[in-house]
Amino acid sequence: MGGAYAPDAARRAASRVRSAQADPDRVRLEGVHAVKHAVRFGADIEVLVTADPDAVATLLDDLAPDVTDEVLASTTVLDAATWASLIPRALPSPLLGVAARPHRSADDVLAGDGPVVVLEEPRHLGNLGAAIRGAAAAGAGGLLVLGDADPWHPTAVRGSAGLGFALPVAAAPTLPRTDRPVLALDADGEPLRPGTLPEDGVLLVGTERGGLTATARARATRRVAIEMRPGVSSLNLATAVTVALYLGR
């Protein structure tokens, strides 16, 4: 079962959640899935809050019994009004947290073990988060975002289910020089087959509508494509990343 409501502790916890909203050094964790993965992969969690501790306990016992005790011991119970003031939209489950943002560089990402995914100018934060989730599941060495999209925006963190803590993730304006082989995911490329994507490879992925820019394609040493049924023109960004990582290795 969940904990009890303590007014002073609740006020302090709510204040810490509010102060994190505009802080680039902190990450908002929305829902049990994001929190459970953050805990599993060593995130520095500052505060956890809920207005329904019993529901959180039930979900954790069902979905993540390995972290149930740790999460519940760290969670502060809020009254319904305070909870409502902290959530601008409905959450997938009644748990909200704040963690320190991992500060990784593009070089940190490229130093990871396993293929590295590079997303050029992704436009949908939910898809960006889902791509991180797929990359983590497939054992990618890291994921780098080129452009203005923030992989630690709450929408992206929600889409990733907190799995940005499971591998190096960073944003950069451009792809640094690298000795890794660079493969561009491109509709006109050669069919992607098992063994096409080396363990030290970099997989460049563009937007769903426009694909990669000419500048990005010029960085590639090879262009590869996911074969699809005739009449199907494209895949969702996250689906393409996940399929390429599993199929190409």
Would you say residue 2 lies in a domain? no
How many structural domains does the chain have? 2
- How high is the pLDDT of residue 150? 97
CATH number for the domain spanning 94: value is 3.30.1330.30
pLDDT value, residue 21: 86
Q: Would you say residue 183 lies in a domain?
A: yes
- Please tell me whether residues 58 and 83 are part of one structural domain: yes
Dist. CA 246–CA 249, nearest whole Å: 6
pLDDT of residue 178: 96
Kindly state whether residues 132 and 50 are assigned to the same domain: no
Residue 1 lies in a domain: no
In a domain? residue 121: yes
Considering the domain architecture, whether residues 17 and 89 belong to the same structural domain is answered as: yes
Residues 118 and 31 in one domain: no
Last residue of a domain, one of 100, 134, 161: 100
Q: Do 76 and 127 fall into the same domain?
A: no
State the sign of the Cα–Cα–Cα–Cα dihedral 90, 93, 95, 101. negative
Question: Helix or strand or coil: residue 218?
Answer: helix
Predicted pLDDT of residue 3: 73
Based on the domain organization, do 86 and 132 belong to the same domain?
no
Q: Which of 100, 129, 155 is the last residue of a domain?
A: 100
Mean pLDDT by groups of 10 residues along the chain of 249 residues: 80 96 94 98 98 97 97 97 92 96 96 96 96 98 97 96 98 96 95 96 91 92 94 90 96
- The contacts of residue 75 (CB under 8 Å, 6+ apart) are 2, 3, 48, 49, 50, 53, 56, 95
| Domain housing 111 | 106-247
> Are residues 75 and 156 located together in one domain of the fold?
no
Per-residue confidence (pLDDT) for residue 130, from 0 to 100: 98
Q: Are residues 84 and 151 in the same domain?
A: no
Contact 206, 245 (CB under 8 A): no
Q: Are residues 111 and 90 in the same domain?
A: no
Whether residue 163 sits in one domain with residue 116: yes
From 82, 100, 118, give the residue that closes a domain.
100
pLDDT at 2: 57
